[in-house]
Amino acid sequence: MTIKYLDHFNFSTKPFSKELGDAELWIPPTKKALVDDLCEAIADHDSVLLTGEPGVGKTCVLRAVRARIPAQGCRLTYCHNATLGRRDFYRQLCHALGLAPSATAAALFYAVSTHVQDLGRDHMHPVFLLDEAHLLHQDTLDHLHILLNYEWDSRALLSLVLVGLPELEDRLALRRNRSLIQRIHRRFRVDPLTIDDTHDYLRMRLRRAGNDKELFASDAIGLLHDATRGSLREVDRIATWSLREAARLAKKRVERDIISRAVDTTSTFEE
Ligand SMILES: Nc1ncnc2c1ncn2[C@@H]1O[C@H](COP(=O)(O)OP(=O)(O)OP(=O)(O)O)[C@@H](O)[C@H]1O
Ligand SMILES: [Mg+2]
């Protein structure tokens, strides 16, 4: 089945698809600096906190880090289901690490921490990337600083990278979590897009899909930027709706009125 707006604008592929290869990610200077900082923190064997609003590109930043980190010397393990109690959390880690899951919480923890020590002996640094970490159960959070303790807390054998919404900062600031936050050495935010970023991002996406014309009027981009509040995922959604609508109306460009309708028609938010 043909997709009309792709033909109408001569796109070779869906311009705002989430299915981008690591090499195709948009890395403007601000994101490059963040990826550099994260790679350096991991090289230093530090643990890291990375926060930002939904859709600003946190997980894509992790993908950019994955593409940069040398396979030799570093082992990244990505966990995205944070909605688990402590025992299932460790079971998930065992599974991701290729370890046989044990029955009890203590045995699961022992398997993971022994694996970390084995990797250390092989000069391999493990990095556990815990995405959606604002959803971690408190009993899991209570335990993470223990997972970072090797040889009487004298070795930095593991980096934890906690990634989540800004409320994760509030949770970690609670007195109950002070032992953990003290061990998270580096703390970063992914900022929402600026208006210049939104222009660049649109241009990059359209060019990658084979169309380097200015398909969005400048004031349309201004409105798109305001309405999406710097979220790339929202830009993807509203821009796709708008291109589809412009094609339906046989227009060659997305003007401000189409963005305005896209926002009114598809927005689920209220001020
Ligand atoms: N660097 C990038 N290059 C290209 N597209 C990107 C980039 N960052 C984000 N996007 C687009 O925005 C979408 C959302 O990004 P991402 O999933 O990284 O956000 P997030 O901050 O992890 O959101 P959430 O908090 O909801 O998990 C991606 O699916 C992709 O389409
Ligand atoms: Mg994410």
Under DSSP, the state recorded for 159 is: E
Q: What topology does CATH give the domain 4-13+193-266?
A: Helicase, Ruva Protein; domain 3 (1.10.8)
Task: Name the residue of 26, 59, 189 whose CB sits within 8 Å of the most ligand 1 atoms, as the mutation to test its pocket.
Answer: 59
Average pLDDT, the chain: 94
Integer Cα distance of 48 and 42 in angstroms: 8
List pLDDT tens digits, range 63-83.
Answer: 999 999 987 899 999 999 888
> What string of DSSP letters covers 210-267?
T--S--B-HHHHHHHHHHHTT-HHHHHHHHHHHHHHHHHTT-SSB-HHHHHHHHHHH-
* Cα 4 to ligand 2 centroid, rounded to whole Å: 30
57 lines ligand 1 (CB under 6 A): yes
Residue 136: both structure tokens together:
């971690």
Q: Which residues of 5-24 are buried (b: 16+ CB within 10 A; e: fewer)?
A: bbebbebeebbbeeeeeeee
Predicted TM-score of the model (pTM): 0.94
**What was the pLDDT predicted at 226?**
97
**What was the pLDDT predicted at 194?**
96
Query: Rounded to the nearest 5°, which phi and psi values hold at 88?
Result: -70, -30
Task: Name the residue of 30, 49, 60 whose CB sits within 8 Å of the most ligand 1 atoms, as the mutation to test its pocket.
Answer: 60
Task: Match 């589809």 to its residue by tokens.
Answer: 244
25 lines ligand 1 (CB under 6 A): yes
Residue 234: both structure tokens together:
């929202």
pLDDT at 270 over 60: no
* Cα 235 to ligand 2 centroid, rounded to whole Å: 15
58 lines ligand 1 (CB under 6 A): yes
CATH 3.40.50.300 fits 44-189, yes or no: yes
Integer Cα distance of 204 and 26 in angstroms: 7
Element (H or E) spanning 34, and its range? helix 29-43
**What was the pLDDT predicted at 102?**
86
Q: What percent of the chain shows pLDDT beyond 70?
A: 98
pLDDT at 271 over 50: no
Other Cβ atoms within 10 Å of 57 Cβ, number: 25
Q: Which of 239, 238, 229 is nearest to 53 (CA)?
A: 229
Assign 268 a pLDDT band (cuts: 50, 70, 90).
Answer: low
Task: Match 């995405």 to its residue by tokens.
Answer: 131
Burial (0-12, 13-18, 19+ Cβ within 10 Å), 217:
middle
- Per-domain residue ranges of the chain: 4-13+193-266, 44-189
Q: Which of 179, 82, 207 is nearest to 133 (CA)?
A: 82
Cβ contact 131:82 at 8 Å: yes
Residue 200: both structure tokens together:
């660049």
Summarize the confidence of residues 42-49 as an average pLDDT: 96
Q: Which residues of 130-164 are buried (b: 16+ CB within 10 A; e: fewer)?
A: bbbbbbbeeebbebbbebbeeeeeeebbbbbbbbb
List pLDDT tens digits, range 112-131.
Answer: 999 999 999 999 999 999 99
